[in-house]
Every structure is written in C-alpha cells, then in structure tokens.
Amino acid sequence: MMFRRLALAVACAVLCACAGAGGLSADESALAELLAIPSDSRDVAANDRAIEWMRAYLEAGGVWCAVEKWPVDGRNILYAATQPGLKNPDYVIVTHLDVVAPSVPGQFAPRLEGRRLYARGACDTKGNAFCAALALRALNGKGSVGCVFASDEEIGGNTTKYMVSLGYGVPGRLVLTLDSAGRTPDIRYACKGNGYYRVTAKGKSGHSSRPDKCVNPHYILAEAALKIRDRFPFQKPGEWGDVASVTVVSGGDSPNRIPESAQMTVNVRFVETDGLELHRKQIAEITGLETELIRGTPPGIGPADDPELFRFRDAVKTAYPSRPCRLVRSDAATDARYFTQFGKPLPMLGMECAGGHSDSEWVDLDDIPRFTAMLVGFLGGR
C-alpha cells in the first residue's frame, strides 16, 4: 500500500504540473499510478506489484479475481471475470502488465503533453490493459467475460500459457488480444509462430596475428548468415510467410585471439503449426552447422469466417469510422497463440497509441472512454 500511495503521489505531481488547472480525471490518474510501477518483465517483484495493483482496482469495482503463481519463478498472474468463478466465459480478453526494459532512466515517470500520456508501457500495453479493466468493471455481473493479465508477455508469454493449462479463459465465442497496435487501423486475426535458434560454428583457435594457422568460426557464421538471408527473402507488402533474421552474434574472450567457437541466434517467424522443429532442421540444413532450439511458440491462427469476428469488426468500425478495419494477419507474435486449440476467432486490437518499446511511448487519454465503450458494447452483446 505504501508503494501504491507513493507511486500515485509521484505520478499525479508530475502530471498535474503538466495538465494545468484542469487536472486529470479519476480514470486518468489511476492509469498514471499503474504506469508508475516499474514492471520490467525481468523484475518479478515489480510485476507482482503491478498485478496486485490491478487486482485491487478490479476488486474495488466488485470484479471477481483469482491470482496464480507461475511455478518457474513464482511471479503472480491475474485472471478476472464478470461472474464469480467464471473460467469458461463467452469472451476472453488477453493482455499484459509487464513491459520491456527502459533504455534510458526516468521512463516510468509519466508525463503529459497535450492529451498524450508518455511513459514506458503506456502503449505496450498498460493503456490497453487498463481499458480491459474498465470494461470488466462496467460489465460486472452483466456479461460473460474473463481476462488474463499476463506478467511475462514480453519475454515469451508463458504465464498466459500456464493460466490456460489451469483452465482459466476457455472461450465460448471469441478471444480478444488487447495489445499495442502501433496505431494500426486494421484488426489482426492471426499471428505468426516465433522460434529462436542457436547456431554454433566450431573452428581452430590461435593468435590473431596468424590467421593462416587458425580456422575462424566468425567467418563460418558470416557465410551461414548470408545463406539464411538468401533462403528467407524479405516479404512484400501483403505477403504472410516465413521470415528469418540473425539477431545476436557472440564468441571469443580476447581481442587478440581467434576463438575455437562462435554462436549466432536466428529468429524465425513462421506460419506452420509444426514450424518449431521444421525450422530447426531447415536452419541446420541451410548452414550445415549445429542448430538447437532456444525457445519458441506456435502461431495463433483463428477462423477468418466466424460471425463473431465480423461482429467485432463492425463494432470497431462504428467506434472508429475513419479506420479501414480490414481483417489482416499479423507479422508479430501474441499470446493469442495459446488459444488456437479452442478453434475460436483470435482478433487483436489496440487503442490510439504509439511508440511501443521506444523511448517515446504514449497513449491518447481522450481515447480511453471511446475504446472502453466499444469493448463494453461488443462484449456485452450489444
């Protein structure tokens, strides 16, 4: 409680100074308090504070909540529903309270510029999670809605997977992922799988002044990386297929020594349901090098012709008439992937925001009531 009061005091002091005489509404102040919690995905204690904040906020509105612990590191995960004990609602919301680590100090201190609220996690995705909470409070006792508030989405989403394994959030009609859309005006109904692979090259070590006496594993990796580039060409606009990128290269312990081995990480985004093992074998075949799966998740692909999906599109279009609201497939990975087994639509959408994972992340405060009203209308069956 002391942390919550301090966070709110700091957030409000900063924001009220910027907002002038008008100040902030109660909802906007509450969002500022949530943003002030430094819930970097890697910080279990801070994420637990964010989960506790959300639980308290929902329970203050009468919403039933359940908290479970992920057995790997003990972090808390929150599930909330509009009916006590409701684990299999008609509609499931999936969102998260963890954020990527800030790259510069001070990003957890909210600041207001006009009607944009800037802070780490404002767009990705505490603003969206807060709208989910508002919708749950508005529909409490009147709808059939449940929501998973994950605490590790930015580093794999295993907390969502764990909640599903416990039977939380079995959907009757539709699963709605609320996450940073980067102001994308369309509705994404499918997401790619995501695999990370470690590729190891082995050479012959020695003094860097005599490369002729050595076999440099970095050169082997460089050639392998170019082979991967050539086998995974860049996608053209509108295409939806497999892509691969070399993201990390490591090896060596001295600037004047050629190492005996080096590694690179290859990230593959894929559309096949069996893609994790398929692409491990493919990367090994392309490079001729030892390849192991570090971690990965399957794609999330829901039906594209379900009436509930069209009803959701119509609800968004009514609330946002300037958006084209096309049904498109996403290049990114989301926690919708853990709900494919249920065969329900898996749309993803976000409110007006931008800058997710950047140093200038913001959410439009004026969009909170509009986005929430759209959610309440759709999830409430109106």
Domain hosting residue 274, numbered range: 193-297
The per-residue pLDDT for range 127-184, each reduced to its tens digit, is 999 999 999 999 999 999 999 999 999 988 999 999 999 999 999 999 999 998 645 6
Q: 249, 276, 297 — which closes off a domain?
A: 297
Q: How far apart are CA 237 and CA 211, in angstroms?
A: 44
Looking at the structure, tell me whether residues 124 and 217 fall in a common domain: no
Looking at the structure, tell me whether residues 24 and 130 fall in a common domain: yes
In this prediction the pTM is 0.88
Q: Which DSSP state fits 73?
A: T
Q: Which DSSP state fits 102?
A: P
Looking at the structure, tell me whether residues 243 and 331 fall in a common domain: no
Q: Report CA dihedral (276, 334, 331, 31) to the nearest 10 degrees.
A: -160
- Least confident stretch, 10-14, 87-91, 98-102, 231-235: 10-14
Into how many domains does the chain fold? 2
Looking at the structure, tell me whether residues 106 and 73 fall in a common domain: yes
Looking at the structure, tell me whether residues 147 and 224 fall in a common domain: no
**Residue 66: pLDDT above 70?**
yes
Q: How far apart are CA 24 and CA 13, in angstroms?
A: 11
Q: 281, 297, 313 — which closes off a domain?
A: 297
The per-residue pLDDT for range 226-245, each reduced to its tens digit, is 999 999 988 887 789 999 99
Q: 297, 331, 354 — which closes off a domain?
A: 297
Q: Which two tokens stand for residue 364?
A: 């439009």
How many residues would you count in the chain? 382
pLDDT recorded at residue 102 = 87
Which residues lie closer than 8 Å to 79 by C-beta, 6 or more apart?
65, 66, 67, 68, 87, 146, 147, 148, 149, 163, 168, 169
The per-residue pLDDT for range 101-141, each reduced to its tens digit, is 988 889 999 999 999 999 999 999 999 999 999 999 999 99
pLDDT recorded at residue 21 = 34
List beta partners, residue 154: none
Looking at the structure, tell me whether residues 115 and 253 fall in a common domain: no
